[in-house]
């Protein structure tokens, strides 16, 4: 349930400070579609790019069948297939906001 006077992006940011989550997990928690969450995540990332206290992190996408890790991916969405084995069993990217001042 969304708190009074809290925007959807503020709620997403709050949830990402607690734990690392996928867009699907966030969608369930805020009762939106995963595509809608991915749209908002792009804005959250952009707003935190210049933040001095917090950093938006994305864990790499991992293909479960062959273990290929897609490093350096700019998109926040999950790719449809592995480029090496063409498998579709993919661990989605997970997002988190971490404090730059924490120790």
Q: What integer is the mean pLDDT of 5-19?
A: 89
Whether the Cβ atoms of residue 15 and residue 30 lie closer than 8 Å to each other: yes
Quote the pTM value: 0.81
Whether the Cβ atoms of residue 82 and residue 65 lie closer than 8 Å to each other: yes
Q: What integer is the mean pLDDT of 32-53?
A: 92
Instruction: Quote the crossing angle between the two packed helices 23-30 and 34-48, to the nearest 10°.
Output: 110
Does the pLDDT value for residue 59 go beyond 80? yes
* Least reliable range by pLDDT among 4-8, 31-35, 39-43, 72-76: 4-8
DSSP 37: H
Task: Tell me the C-alpha distance between 50 and 80, whole Å.
Answer: 30
Domain positions in the chain are 8-99
């Amino acid at each position: 349930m969304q708190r009074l006077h809290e925007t959807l992006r503020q709620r997403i940011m709050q949830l990402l400070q607690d734990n690392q989550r996928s867009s699907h997990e966030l969608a369930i928690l805020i009762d939106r579609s995963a595509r809608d969450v991915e749209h908002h995540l792009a804005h959250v990332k952009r707003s935190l790019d210049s933040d001095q206290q917090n950093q938006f992190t994305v864990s790499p996408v991992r293909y479960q069948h062959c273990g290929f890790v897609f490093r350096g991916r700019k998109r926040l969405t999950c790719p449809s297939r592995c480029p090496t084995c063409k498998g579709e069993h993919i661990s989605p990217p997970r997002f988190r906001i971490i404090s730059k001042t924490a120790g």
